[in-house]
């Protein structure tokens, strides 16, 4: 019964990735720990594998809709990949315990939930303000690789893809639309997760049957989520999802 619940929740992971370009691994890690009964480090590595593969599948319908900015991804992804591998290797240090990783994961979830809850709706900027932002956009390109490095380290250390930070960063610093940021985020998460997972290969032993079956379930959710973006404004969903993530974060910190 619990495994059935786990796979049902895997569909929700995919829906989150497809609809808002993030939140998948924020859900995946606690599901793998508390429902599928994996150890924290194994859950993080499994999450990276699942979310990485699901993101590759999920980016396809976004690309077909013209919502993937490869130029922006090329600026963001390289430093993010380096950071993800470094984060995974930091997790292997003797002084890093699984309890400490879970506490860090819970704090990242709290941060993610606050960012989602406080996210503003449609911008009320004037045309002059938009023009000014576009004029100064060149100065923001330095911020993209730096953010990528920081998000990558978080990805590798606690197994969170970072879509909840990547999407607003792409909108603010990349100057791209929300739907395009969601599709681009999935591509970046795929690269992040791949290098983060590589960093964990020597640390854990994975159940590949679980990885594959969880990926299939989540992928179905991602394809449905990507399709629904044609009809649903992701910004309308983020606040409610943020409160849900906050509740899960409190649970993780209590149960650590």
Quick check: 124 pLDDT over 50? Answer: no
Q: Tell me the two tokens of residue 218.
A: 């989540």
Report in angstroms the alpha-carbon separations of 207 from 38, 40, 56, 157, 218. Answer: 10, 14, 21, 20, 17
Average pLDDT over residues 83-101: 91
Bigger pLDDT: 92 vs 26: 92
Q: Which residue has the higher pLDDT, 237 or 81?
A: 81
pLDDT digits over 19-41, tens only? Answer: 776 667 788 888 899 999 999 99
Percent of the chain with pLDDT over 90: 24
pLDDT at 22: 66
237, containing H or E segment: helix 235-255
pLDDT band at 46 (very low <50, low <70, confident <90, very high): very high
Number of domains into which the chain is organized: 1
**Phi-psi domain of 121 (left: phi exceeds 0; alpha: psi -120 through 50; beta: other):** beta
Q: Which is higher by pLDDT, 125 or 251? A: 251
pLDDT of 115 reads 77
The pLDDT assigned to 187 comes to 92
> For residue 50, is pLDDT > 70?
yes
Structural domain harbouring 182: 2-255
CA-based nearest residue to 146, from 127, 122, 173? 173
Mean pLDDT calculated for residue range 151-158: 90
Closest CA to 52 of 249, 231, 211, 223: 211
pLDDT in tens, 199-236: 998 888 899 999 999 999 988 988 888 788 777 766 66
């Amino acid at each position: 019964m619990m495994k059935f619940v786990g796979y049902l929740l895997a569909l929700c992971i995919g829906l989150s990735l497809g609809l808002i370009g993030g939140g998948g691994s924020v859900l995946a890690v606690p599901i793998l720990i508390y429902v599928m009964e994996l150890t924290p480090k194994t859950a993080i590595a499994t999450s990276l594998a699942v979310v990485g593969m699901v993101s590759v599948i999920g980016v396809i319908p976004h690309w077909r809709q013209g919502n993937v900015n490869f130029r922006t991804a090329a600026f963001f992804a390289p430093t993010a990949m380096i950071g993800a591998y470094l984060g995974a290797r930091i997790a292997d240090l003797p002084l890093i315990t699984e309890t400490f990783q879970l506490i860090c994961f819970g704090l990242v979830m709290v941060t993610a939930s606050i960012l989602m809850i406080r996210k503003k709706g449609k911008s009320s900027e004037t045309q002059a303000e938009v023009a000014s932002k576009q004029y100064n956009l060149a100065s923001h390109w330095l911020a993209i690789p730096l953010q990528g490095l920081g998000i990558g380290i978080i990805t590798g250390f606690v197994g969170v893809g970072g879509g909840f930070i990547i999407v607003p960063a792409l909108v603010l610093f990349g100057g791209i639309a929300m739907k395009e940021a969601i599709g681009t985020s999935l591509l970046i998460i795929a690269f992040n997760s791949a290098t983060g997972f590589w960093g964990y290969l020597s640390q854990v032993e994975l159940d590949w049957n679980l990885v594959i079956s969880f990926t299939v379930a989540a992928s179905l959710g991602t394809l449905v989520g990507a399709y629904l973006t044609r009809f649903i404004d992701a910004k309308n969903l983020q606040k409610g999802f943020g409160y849900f993530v906050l509740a899960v974060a409190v649970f993780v910190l209590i149960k650590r």
